[in-house]
Structures are given as structure tokens and as C-alpha cells.
Chains A and B, each alone.
Chain A
Amino acid sequence: MIDSGDTAWTMASGALVMFMTIGLGVFYTGLVRPKNGLNTFMMCVAALAVVTISWALIGYSLAFGEGSGFIGNFDHAFLKDVGFEPREGQTVPHLVFFMFQATFCILTAALVSGAVVERMRFVPYLGFIAIWSIFVYPVMAHWVFGGGFLSGGEEFLWSDGGTLDFAGGVPVEMGSGFSALAAALIVGARKDYGRLALLPHNTIYVLLGAGILWFGWFGFNGGSGIGTNNASVLAFANTLLTPACTLATWFLLDYLRRRRITAVGAGTAIIVGCVGITPAGAFVSPAWAMVLGVLVTLPCYAVIVWRPRTHVDETLDVLAAHGIAGLTGILFIGFAAQIAWNDAADGLFYGESQLLGDQFLAAIVAPAYAFIATYLILSVIKAIGGLRASEREEALGMDVISHGEEAYVSGEGAVLVTPESPRDHELVAGPG
């Protein structure tokens, strides 16, 4: 039975989440050097092309087709039987649900690019996200959203199949974070990593991108109830509360550490808070959501301070901001979930220990699968060759190497070589 209010909000939410991928492009671009700004943004834009197609052809079916506990089937391949009729138990047209879920897979693939910016070649990257969006994201989405072994209510090891993940702590956050770690290890560090200071080039972009992401996250979390039900309402409000507390906690940690409250830190905090509440949005009370905002800051801040001292050039800290924050949110549900708010299960603080076990299982299998699967995919692409730019290309910048354009082009010294204007007998200098 289609409900117009539910449908309207889910459509709006899908559009909000789609714009998050652009926001992520702005955020990531601000964090890299100017000579790689365009390439970094294009890695996000590319996900909109490649992943939309793979999702429509096969990804959606592998995630939401009935299938087994591990992966869906081919029932909805090529969008078969995806039309105006709602899915069982839903109140929005199947096509709207398909589109809403597509935007999640697109964003997640784009997130992984943060680990490999400034040195991975663009064409191998396109191949990577095409394969990744078929074999990694849909599998993990099936586990928690599509009736897989984390959500199907069937026993598995010590779990009773009742893992709670509202908006994608497993497939989106842990999926991207631990895939990013594997990607950074296979692609390898930038040539100057650990030798030169490689700094963000536009901190305004960092804050603007983080702001767009937070705005979009109201659709990401607030729309994940697939309607305007209590779950969506609770998640919507919590999406303001948790990141605000994370932001304040980050301010405090920055101040204690260096006596300066940083803007790049603030942008990061917004992401960390939004990620933390992603799995927990509809399962914990607003008060607990605020506590989560404080708690999720601590491990993420620690990893972000520690990671650059290692040899792992996981360039934009996807592991810390998404993997670790998502894992924290998933585990937090096991403690603070409350039937009075979520109508599903109580956590440890409310006298039930089963849920924590279920959450713990997700916190083990999700990172392991994301890491191993991504590691294998990229190993194969690396064996084929051309995975990363040469040192000379890296020095010139990926904008010119991959796209033949620059993010900040002056036009000075540019000589027109193939004029398409009537004056094509002249050589015209200028930006064109």
C-alpha cells in the first residue's frame, strides 16, 4: 500500500544522499594539494556514473534479492520486477527504494577513493569501483538490509541474527573504512609521504564539504526508515544531536592538545559524528545519541593523530572517520539500545546481553570482509598493471596527467591549437 507522505520523503532523501557524493568531492578536494584537486573531485563524480550503472545492472539484485544469508540473487538483475509496486512490507514504490539505496552504494564507493588520491590512475580506479560495487558493497548491504545473516533472524555462531544497523554502519561505514585501509596498502604511499609536508590546500572547501555532507545525512539517516515513521523521526533528530556533540568534543581535544581549535578538525568531527549515529540513529534515545557523539570522538581522534606516524598513507583517513566511527556506533547500540525508543531490542544497559553479542559479530565480520575482498580485487588490478602514476607523473599532478585539465588554470601562456572559431587561421593566446 503506497503512502504519499512516505514516498515524498524517501524521494527527497534519495536526492539529499545523492548530493552527499558532491559534498564529499568538495571535502576531499579541500584536503589535497591544488595539483590534484580536480582528480580528487572527479573520483567522486565517477562513482555517480560507474556505480549507478553497476547497481542497476546487478548490484541492487545482489543486495536486495532474496538469495542466501551471504548474498542476494539475480531476481532483480537489470531492474527486473522493480516498478511502481512496493516491496513487501514497504509503503513506497519499488523504484523509489531502488534509487534511495543506489545513492548509498555510490557514496560508499566514492568514500574509498580518499585512501588512494594523489597517485592512483583514473582508469584503473574506474575499473576498481565497478568491481568493488558488485562484490563488496552489495554483499554487506545484503547482510544487514536484504535479509542476510546479520538481519534475517536466523542463528549464526553466537548471534540470533538480530544485529541492528539502521542506516549502514556495516556496508557504508565499516565497508568503506576497512576497504580504504586495504586500498592504501595495495596502492602504496605517495612518493613524498613521510618526507614532505602534504597539506590541505583549501580549508574552506573542507568545512563546506563537511557541511554539505551533514545536510545530506538528514536524508541518509532520516530517510532510512523508508518513510516518515518513528524510526526516521528519531534518526532525523539524532543526526543533529550526535555530530554537534562530536564537534564540541573535538574542539575540547584540539584545545587540550595544542591550545588551538582547528577548522580541518571541525570538518572531520562533523563526519565522525554523522558516521557514529548512522547505525544507531533509530535505536538509541536522543540523550544516548549525545553521549555517543562524545564517545565516538575518542577512538577516531586517536587514530587520526597516530596514523600519519605510520607507513600507511591512508591519505584522507577514511579508516578513522568511517571505519572506526562506524564500528563504535555499531557496538554502542549493543549497550544503549532501548525498546521504549526503537521497538526492537534492549541493550546491555537495559538488561539484555544478546544484542551486544549480535553487534559484536557485525564488528568482526564487516571489517574482515571489506578488507579481504578489497585487498583481493586491487591485487588483481595491480597485477594487470598501471595502477598508480609514476613518480614523474605524481610530481606534475594527477589533474594534468589524468584529465588534461587543471583545477586552477590561469591561461597564461596557453596557445590555442585547434581553434573551432571562424578565426582558425590565427593563433590566439588566452584562456579560451
Chain B
Amino acid sequence: MKLVIGIVRPEKANDVLEALYRAEVRGVSLSRVQGHGGELERVETYRGTTVKMGLSEKVRFEVAVSDAFVQTAIDALCAGGRTGDVGDGKVFVIPLERAVRIRTGETDEGAVTPVGD
């Protein structure tokens, strides 16, 4: 059981969702985050104030999956999020100690398996 975290461009978020859905990975959380990952800085000017924007808007996906679905989820995040330019984001995979489905009390593998499977 792993937690797959994907940080992608906001304009690619819909593509990633679609890729995850097609790969039959269900159960996704996403949040808006700001980050910096080596992409070129934007320069903006407001009246006399010129600034370098060091942080870019990103969308962070969190997908809890059973071990069999880890590679599928990673592939979907990469396929949906890639443009080929600097700033496409990262995927991190971390071990997941426990999971509980609140409605039923199911734990672990049962809790991260989509209903009906």
C-alpha cells in the first residue's frame, strides 16, 4: 500500500484526472499548492516594483493505492502531466502505514480498493 503524490501544472490537472480515470485509479484528492522546482522565474512589474516570482501555482494529487496499482498511478500522472518543458512537476511514492474507510470501517487494502471491485 502506497501513497502516490503527484505535483503537476494546474492547466494539466484535468488531463491527469482523465488519465487516472482511464487507468481505473479511483479515489483521488487534490489541492492547490505553490512551489519551486527549478523552472525559470517570471518577472512581473507593478508600477515601479519589479519582482521575480519564485513560486509557481501547482496542483498536488494524492492517490492511495494497493501495491498492484502503484505503477499504473505513476504512469497516469506522468502521461497526463507532461508537456516536456521545465516545470512539469514530480511524482513521489511513500509507504502507507494504515488506511481506514470511514463509512464501513474497512481497513488497509480494503479501504483503498474502489467500491464494487
What residue in chain A is nearest B49 (Cβ atoms)? A432
A residues less than 8 Å from B48 (CB atoms): 420
Q: Are B52 and A414 in contact (CB under 8 A)?
A: yes
Which residues 383-432 of A sit at the B interface, judged by CB distance below 8 A?
392, 395, 400, 404-406, 409-418, 420, 432
Residue of A nearest to B35 (CB): A413
Centre residue among B50, B52, B83 by max chain A CB count within 10 A: B50
Q: Which of A196, A410, A414, A418 has the most CB of B within 10 A?
A: A414
In the complex the two chains form, is A416's CB within 8 Å of B45's CB? no
Establish whether residues B34 and A405, one from each chain, have CB atoms under 8 Å apart when the complex forms. Answer: no
- Name the distance in Å between A398's Cβ and chain B's nearest Cβ: 13
User: Which residue in chain A gives the minimum CB-CB distance to B36?
Assistant: A413
- Report the contact-size class of chain A (Cβ under 8 Å from the partner): 20 to 34
Q: Is the CB of A418 within 8 A of B50?
A: yes
Please judge, given known A-B contacts A392-B83, A395-B9, A406-B44, whether A414 and B14 are in contact too, CB under 8 Å. Answer: no
Number of A-B contacts (CB under 8 A): 50
Contact status B45-A413, CB under 8 Å: no
Distance between Cα atoms of A417 and B14 in the complex (Å): 34
Decide: A417 and B46 in contact? CB cutoff 8 A. no
A395 to B, closest residue via Cβ: B11
Give which listed residue, B9, B14, B54, contacts A413 with CB less than 8 A.
Answer: B54
Q: Encode contact with A along B29-72: 1 for CB under 8 Å, 0 otherwise.
A: 00000101000001111101111111100000000000000000
Docked pose: A409 CA to B46 CA in angstroms: 10
A420 and B48 alpha carbons, distance in the complex (Å):
7
B36 close to A417 (CB less than 8 A) = no
How many of chain B's residues touch chain A, expressed as a range?
20 to 34
Shortest distance between the CB of A35 and any CB in chain B (Å):
8
Q: How far is the CA of A412 from the CA of B50 in the complex (A)?
A: 14
| Cα-based distance from A411 to B50 in the complex (angstroms) | 12
Q: DSSP class of A's interface residues: helix, strand, loop or mixed?
A: loop
Neighbouring B residues of A417 by C-beta, 8 Å: 43, 50-52
CA distance A418 to B45 in the complex (A): 10
Closest chain A residue, CB of each to CB of B11: A395
Output the least CB separation between B70 and chain A (Å). 27
List the B residue with the shortest CB-CB distance to A405: B44
Given the known inter-chain contacts A196-B14, A395-B11, please indicate yes or no for A413 contacting B44, CB distance below 8 A.
Answer: no
Q: Are B51 and A395 in contact (CB under 8 A)?
A: no
Name the contact of A409 in the complex, choosing from B44, B54, B83, B85 (C-beta under 8 A): B44
Q: Which residue of B lies closest to A406 (CB)?
A: B44
Q: Mark A258-287, 1 if CB is under 8 A from B, else 0.
A: 000000000000000000000000000000
Name which residue of chain B comes closest to A415, CB basis: B52
- List residues of chain A with CB within 8 A of the CB of B52: 414-415, 417
Distance, CA A409 to CA B49, complexed state (A): 13
CB distance from A119 to the nearest CB of B (A): 13
Asked if B42 and A392 make an inter-chain contact with CB atoms under 8 angstroms apart, the answer reads: no
Min CB distance A414 to B, Å, is 4
Q: A400-B42, A406-B44 are in contact. Are A413 and B83 (CB under 8 A)?
A: no
Q: What 1/0 mask marks residues of chain B from 74 to 107 whose CB sits below 8 Å from any chain A CB?
A: 0000000001010000000000000000000000
**Which residues of chain A are near B83, meaning CB under 8 Å?**
392, 395
- Alpha-carbon distance A322/B77, docked complex (angstroms): 43
Contacts of A413 in B (CB 8 A): 34, 36, 53-55
**6 A-B pairs, CB-CB below 8 angstroms?**
A392-B85, A404-B44, A406-B44, A417-B51, A420-B49, A432-B51
Binding site for A on B (CB under 8 A): 9, 11, 14, 34, 36, 42-46, 48-55, 83, 85
Knowing that A404-B45, A413-B55 are A-B contacts, what are 18 other residue pairs whose CB atoms are under 8 Å apart, sorted by A's residue number? A192-B11, A196-B14, A392-B85, A395-B11, A404-B42, A405-B44, A412-B34, A413-B54, A414-B44, A414-B54, A415-B52, A415-B54, A417-B52, A420-B48, A420-B49, A432-B46, A432-B49, A432-B51
